[in-house]
C-alpha cells in the first residue's frame, strides 16, 4: 500500500512539473523613460504631468521625471501643465533598457496670444494673433473637429493675419492658430469657434470673356450684366495657375461688368474668375474660370508646363534678346489662324519669333505639340518658328517637337540651334530651312512629312552641316544642302520624293553623302551631285538614280571640282526608261574631275546588273574617269522583293539577299547603304 502511495505521489509530481513547463513563457523585459522639463527660458519646470497610455508621473523641483515598467513598443508621451502649452513625443521603449535625457520644453500660453476673429460674413472671416517672438504661422480650420483646411503659411513676424475665404454660410467653424517661432518651438492656440452669417447668395456671374486690346499689353475682361436685386458689384480674381491661388484685382468693388487688366506680361497664361457681391459684402460662388495666353514680346523669362497646358496662341509671340522661353515635355500649343489683335489680322499669320533663347524640351513619349487651331487645318495656317539673326543659338534647343500646318516649320534666318527627335509635317514651304548659318547646323532624328521641301540648308560657307538619321516622306525636295562648307548627310531615309531625294553641291571636297536610302516610290532624281561632295554607299531607287550637274557658280571654268560617285547601289527599271547614272552638266575644264567608281546599277526586274551597255544613260566627257563601265553579270535580289512590281511601303527592305556586294566597292566598301546578306 505504501508503495502504491509513493508511485501515485511521484506521478502527481511529474504532472505538476509538466504543467509548469507548459505554462511558462518567455516575456520581453519591460523598459523605462526618463528626462527633464523646462520652460522656454530653460528653467526647470516642476509639477508637469508626464503621461503615456498606461502610465503617469510628475516632474520634481528639478524638472526631472521617470516612467518605469513600460511595455517595449512605440509610445506617445505627453507633457502638460496649466498655463503652459502641451508637448507630445513619440518614442520607442526598448526591452530591458531605460532611455534617458528626454527633454520637454513647454512654452507658456502667453507665447501665442490675443487671438481675434473679425469681419465674419457668410463666406469670409479674418483671424489675427500675436507671438512673443518672431514666428511663421498659419490657421487650421474646419466645420468639424478634423480641422481639414489650412491657410498658406504667412510671413515671419509677431503679428499674424489671415483671411479665411469660400466659407459655407450659416455654419459653425472651429479653428486653431499654429506657429513655429525663431527658437524652433511649435506654438498652438486652444481651439476657438465662430459662426458664418446666413445669406441668400446670388448666382455666380456668367459669360466671362477675355480679349486683348489691339497694339497694347492690356486685357479686357467682361461678363454678363446682372439685373438681380441687392447687387453691390463684382469681385474679379486672377491667377497664373489653374489651381490658384486666385488674388483679387482692383482696389475694391467693381461696379461695372468689365475690367481692364494692365498688369500682364506676354508669354504668361492668366486665369480669371468673377463673383457677385451683395450690399452686405456676401459673395456668390465664383464663375467658371477662363484663361488667356498673352501674346506680344516676352522680355522676362517664361516657362510653359504640362500642368497649365494647353496654351492657345492668338497673336504673334516674340522672345526678346536676353529673354528665354522654356517649353516642358508634354505641353500642347494651339495656334489661331491669323493674328486676332492686329489691324491686319485677316491676312497676318501668327509668328513665333526667337531673338533670345527658346528651349523645347519634349521627349519621344511626351513631345511638345504645336499645331493649327483651325477646324480644318491646312498647310500654311501659321508662319512657324523663326530664329532671327540675333537669336542665341548656343543656349537654344529643339528636342521632342511635333509641329504641323505651318508655312515653314522651323526657319533659321542666320542659323539654327541643334534640332533632334522631332517631327514636322504638312508645312507649305519647308519642314526645316536655314540660310547663312553662323553656327554649325546639326540636325538629327527628324521626321518630315508632306512639305514642299523637307530639309534645306544653304549659303553657309563658314560653318559645317550635319544631317543624320532622319526620315523624309512625300516632299517635293527631300534634302537640299548647297553652297555650304563641310557637309555630312548620313543614314537618312527619303521616300516618295517627287523632284529630288538629295541635292548637294558644297565647297569642301571632303563633304560626305553616305549610307542614305532614297526610295519607296521616289520619282525625279534620287541624288543630284553638283561637285565636291562624295556620294558614297547609298541605295537609290528613282527615275534617275544619280544625276551629275554642273555647279551653280558663275565661273565654272576656274572652279576646281571633284565629282566622286562611289560604291552606290542604284536600282533602275530598264522597261520604264529609268536611268542609273545620268550626266546633265557641262564640264568645260580639266579642273573638273568625275569619278564614277565601283557602283552597282541593277535592274531587279530582270536580275541584271548593268551600266551603259545595258541601257543606262550616262553621257561622259573627256574628263570622266576610265573605270565607269561595269561588266554585265547576274544581279542579286532584295529581301524586300521586287521594288518595281509596286510602290514599296515604308517598311520595304533594300537589303541585298546576296553577298555579291559585300566588300566589293571602292576601297573595300560594301556597295549600297545596307550590309549584304551573310
Joined grid coordinates for residue 6 = 509513493
Joined grid coordinates for residue 295 = 501674346
pLDDT at residue number 621: 39
pLDDT at residue number 131: 93
The SS3 assignment for 16 reads helix
Q: How confident is the model at residue 188 (pLDDT cuts 50, 70, 90)?
A: confident
How are the residues of the chain apportioned to helix, strand and coil, as percentages rounded to the nearest 5? 5, 45, 50
pLDDT at residue number 209: 96
Pick the more confident residue, 454 or 15.
454
Neighbour tally for 125: CB within 10 Å:
21
The Cα 381–Cα 619 span in angstroms is: 45
Average pLDDT over residues 310-336: 97
Pick the more confident residue, 594 or 403.
403
Pick the more confident residue, 41 or 234.
234
The CA angle 450-451-456, to the nearest 5 degrees, is 135
In eight-state DSSP terms, residue 340 is S
pLDDT tens profile 164-175: 988 887 789 999
CATH number of the domain located at residue range(s) 31-106 in this protein: 2.60.40.1120
The Cα 433–Cα 427 span in angstroms is: 11
Q: How confident is the model at residue 572 (pLDDT cuts 50, 70, 90)?
A: confident
Pick the more confident residue, 63 or 561.
63
pLDDT at residue number 678: 58
pLDDT at residue number 631: 42
The Cα 598–Cα 262 span in angstroms is: 71
Chain center to CA of 583? 49
Beta bridge partner(s), residue 223? none
CA dihedral (315, 321, 323, 325) positive or negative: positive
Cis peptide before 245 (omega within 30 of 0): yes
pTM (2 d.p.) = 0.70
pLDDT tens profile 79-97: 999 888 888 888 988 988 9
pLDDT at residue number 446: 97
Beta bridge partner(s), residue 78? 51, 88
244 has pLDDT over 70: yes
Q: How confident is the model at residue 14 (pLDDT cuts 50, 70, 90)?
A: low
Average pLDDT over residues 288-293: 96
Buried (b) or exposed (e) across 211-234, using 16+ Cβ within 10 A? ebeeeebebebbbeebeeeeeebb
Pick the more confident residue, 646 or 589.
646
CATH number of the domain located at residue range(s) 209-293 in this protein: 2.60.40.10
pLDDT at residue number 217: 87
Average pLDDT over residues 651-670: 84
Q: With left for phi above 0 and alpha for psi between -120 and 50, is residue 631 left, alpha or beta?
A: beta
pLDDT tens profile 505-534: 888 878 899 999 998 877 889 999 887 889
Dump strand ranges (E) for 373-418.
384-387, 397-399, 401-404, 408-412
Pick the more confident residue, 159 or 86.
159
Average pLDDT over residues 413-437: 96
pLDDT tens profile 599-611: 888 775 544 343 3
The Cα 288–Cα 35 span in angstroms is: 57
Residue carrying the nine cell digits 517664361 = 302
Average pLDDT over residues 138-158: 92
Chain center to CA of 427? 23
The Cα 351–Cα 92 span in angstroms is: 65
Nearest Cα to 502, choosing from 486, 478, 482, 524? Answer: 478
In the chain, domain spans: 31-106, 109-195, 209-293, 298-422
Average pLDDT over residues 182-196: 87
Pick the more confident residue, 482 or 184.
482
pLDDT at residue number 200: 64
- % of the chain at pLDDT higher than 70: 86
Residue carrying the nine cell digits 506676354 = 266
Most confident of 181-185, 218-222, 520-524, 622-626: 218-222
User: Half-sphere exposure of residue 428, counting CA atoms within 13 Å on the CB side?
Assistant: 11
pLDDT tens profile 616-638: 333 333 334 333 444 444 566 78
The Cα 554–Cα 647 span in angstroms is: 39
For residues 278 and 290, is the Cβ–Cβ distance under 8 A? no
Joined grid coordinates for residue 15 = 504532472
pLDDT at residue number 8: 53
For residues 123 and 196, is the Cβ–Cβ distance under 8 A? yes
Pick the more confident residue, 557 or 179.
179
Residue range 109-195 in CATH 3.30.70.120: no
Neighbour tally for 421: CB within 10 Å:
17
pLDDT tens profile 115-130: 999 988 878 899 999 9
Return the minimum-mean-pLDDT range out of 127-141, 261-275, 322-336, 564-578. 564-578
Joined grid coordinates for residue 131 = 507671438
Contacts of 309 (CB under 8 A, 6+ apart): 330, 331, 332, 333
**597 CB-contact burial (10 Å; exposed 0-12 / middle 13-18 / buried 19+):** middle
The Cα 568–Cα 598 span in angstroms is: 8
Q: How confident is the model at residue 23 (pLDDT cuts 50, 70, 90)?
A: very low
**203 CB-contact burial (10 Å; exposed 0-12 / middle 13-18 / buried 19+):** exposed
Cis peptide before 372 (omega within 30 of 0): no
pLDDT at residue number 340: 79
Beta bridge partner(s), residue 127? 117, 162
Return the minimum-mean-pLDDT range out of 52-61, 259-268, 522-531. 522-531
User: Three-state SS string across 326-345, please?
Assistant: EEECCCEEEECCCCCCCCCC
Nearest Cα to 325, choosing from 350, 304, 355, 294? Answer: 304
For residues 369 and 333, is the Cβ–Cβ distance under 8 A? yes
Whole-Å CA distances, 122 to 197, 198, 250, 253? 4, 6, 22, 17
User: Half-sphere exposure of residue 647, counting CA atoms within 13 Å on the CB side?
Assistant: 9
CA dihedral (202, 204, 206, 212) positive or negative: positive
H or E element, residue 150: strand 149-150
Pick the more confident residue, 402 or 5.
402
For residues 361 and 387, is the Cβ–Cβ distance under 8 A? no
179 has pLDDT over 50: yes
Query: Can you give the C-alpha Rg of the chain in angstroms?
Result: 41
Nearest Cα to 511, choosing from 539, 496, 530, 492? Answer: 530
For residues 309 and 329, is the Cβ–Cβ distance under 8 A? no
Whole-Å CA distances, 5 to 9, 18, 320? 6, 20, 112
pLDDT at residue number 523: 83
pLDDT at residue number 4: 53
For residues 273 and 190, is the Cβ–Cβ distance under 8 A? no
Mean predicted lDDT score pLDDT of the chain:
85
Contacts of 33 (CB under 8 A, 6+ apart): 66, 67, 70, 75, 77, 91, 93, 98, 99, 102
7 has pLDDT over 90: no
Amino acid at each position: 500500500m505504501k508503495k502504491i502511495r509513493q508511485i501515485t505521489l511521484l506521478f502527481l509530481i511529474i504532472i505538476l512539473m509538466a504543467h509548469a513547463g507548459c505554462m511558462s513563457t518567455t516575456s520581453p523585459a519591460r523598459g523605462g523613460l526618463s528626462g527633464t522639463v523646462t520652460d522656454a527660458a530653460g528653467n526647470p519646470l516642476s509639477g508637469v504631468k508626464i503621461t503615456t497610455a498606461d502610465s503617469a508621473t510628475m516632474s520634481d523641483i528639478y524638472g526631472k521625471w521617470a516612467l518605469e515598467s513600460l511595455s517595449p513598443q512605440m509610445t506617445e508621451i505627453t507633457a502638460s501643465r496649466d498655463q503652459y502649452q502641451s508637448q507630445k513625443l513619440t518614442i520607442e521603449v526598448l526591452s530591458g533598457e531605460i532611455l534617458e535625457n528626454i527633454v520637454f520644453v513647454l512654452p507658456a500660453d502667453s507665447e501665442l496670444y490675443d487671438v481675434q476673429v473679425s469681419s465674419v460674413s457668410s463666406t469670409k472671416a479674418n483671424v489675427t494673433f500675436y507671438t512673443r517672438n518672431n514666428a511663421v504661422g498659419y490657421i487650421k480650420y474646419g466645420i468639424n473637429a478634423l480641422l481639414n483646411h489650412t491657410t498658406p503659411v504667412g510671413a515671419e513676424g509677431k503679428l499674424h493675419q489671415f483671411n479665411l475665404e469660400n466659407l459655407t454660410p450659416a455654419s459653425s467653424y472651429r479653428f486653431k492658430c499654429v506657429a513655429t517661432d525663431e527658437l524652433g518651438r511649435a506654438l498652438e492656440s486652444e481651439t476657438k469657434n465662430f459662426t458664418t452669417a446666413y445669406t441668400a447668395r446670388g448666382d455666380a456671374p456668367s459669360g466671362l470673356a477675355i480679349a486683348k486690346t489691339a497694339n497694347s499689353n492690356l486685357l479686357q475682361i467682361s461678363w454678363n450684366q446682372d439685373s438681380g436685386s441687392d447687387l453691390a458689384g463684382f469681385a474679379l480674381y486672377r491667377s497664373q495657375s489653374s489651381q490658384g491661388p486666385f488674388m483679387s484685382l482692383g482696389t475694391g468693388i467693381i461696379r461695372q461688368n468689365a475690367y481692364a487688366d494692365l498688369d500682364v506680361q506676354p508669354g504668361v497664361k492668366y486665369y480669371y474668375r468673377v463673383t457677385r457681391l451683395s450690399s452686405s459684402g456676401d459673395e456668390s460662388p465664383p464663375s467658371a474660370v477662363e484663361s488667356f495666353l498673352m501674346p506680344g514680346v516676352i522680355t522676362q523669362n517664361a516657362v510653359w508646363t504640362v500642368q497649365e497646358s494647353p496654351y492657345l496662341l492668338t497673336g504673334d509671340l516674340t522672345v526678346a534678346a536676353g529673354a528665354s522661353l522654356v517649353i516642358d515635355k508634354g505641353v500642347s500649343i494651339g495656334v489661331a489662324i491669323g493674328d486676332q489683335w492686329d489691324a491686319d489680322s485677316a491676312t497676318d499669320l501668327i509668328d513665333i519669333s526667337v531673338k533670345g533663347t527658346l528651349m523645347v524640351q519634349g521627349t519621344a513619349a511626351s513631345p511638345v505639340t504645336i499645331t493649327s487651331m483651325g477646324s480644318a487645318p491646312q498647310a500654311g495656317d501659321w508662319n512657324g518658328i523663326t530664329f532671327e539673326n540675333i537669336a542665341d543659338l548656343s543656349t537654344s534647343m529643339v528636342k521632342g517637337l511635333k509641329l504641323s500646318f505651318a508655312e515653314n516649320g522651323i526657319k533659321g534666318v542666320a542659323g539654327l540651334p541643334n534640332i533632334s527627335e522631332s517631327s514636322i509635317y504638312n508645312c507649305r514651304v519647308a519642314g526645316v530651312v536655314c540660310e547663312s548659318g553662323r553656327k554649325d547646323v546639326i540636325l538629327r532624328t527628324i521626321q518630315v512629312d508632306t512639305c514642299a521641301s523637307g530639309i534645306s540648308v544653304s549659303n553657309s560657307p563658314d560653318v559645317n552641316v550635319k544631317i543624320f538619321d532622319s526620315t523624309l516622306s512625300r516632299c517635293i525636295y527631300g534634302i537640299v544642302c548647297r553652297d555650304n562648307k563641310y557637309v555630312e548627310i548620313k543614314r537618312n531615309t527619303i521616300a516618295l520624293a517627287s523632284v529630288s531625294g538629295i541635292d548637294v553641291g558644297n565647297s569642301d571636297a571632303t563633304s560626305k553623302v553616305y549610307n542614305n536610302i532614297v526610295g519607296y516610290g521616289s520619282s525625279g532624281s534620287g541624288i543630284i551631285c553638283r561637285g565636291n561632295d562624295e556620294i558614297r554607299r547609298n541605295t537609290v531607287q528613282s527615275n534617275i538614280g544619280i544625276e551629275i550637274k554642273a555647279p551653280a557658280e558663275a565661273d565654272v571654268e576656274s572652279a576646281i571640282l571633284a565629282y566622286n560617285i562611289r560604291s552606290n547601289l542604284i536600282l533602275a527599271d530598264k522597261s520604264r526608261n529609268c536611268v542609273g547614272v545620268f550626266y546633265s552638266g557641262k564640264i568645260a575644264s580639266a579642273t573638273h574631275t568625275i569619278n564614277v567608281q565601283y557602283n552597282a546599277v541593277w535592274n531587279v526586274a530582270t536580275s541584271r546588273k548593268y551600266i551603259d551597255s545595258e541601257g543606262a544613260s550616262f553621257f561622259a566627257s573627256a574628263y570622266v574617269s576610265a573605270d565607269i563601265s561595269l561588266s554585265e553579270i547576274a544581279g542579286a535580289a532584295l529581301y524586300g522583293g521586287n521594288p518595281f512590281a509596286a510602290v514599296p511601303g515604308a517598311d520595304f527592305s533594300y537589303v541585298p539577299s546576296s553577298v555579291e556586294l559585300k566588300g566589293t566597292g571602292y576601297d573595300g566598301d560594301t556597295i549600297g547603304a545596307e550590309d549584304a546578306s551573310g
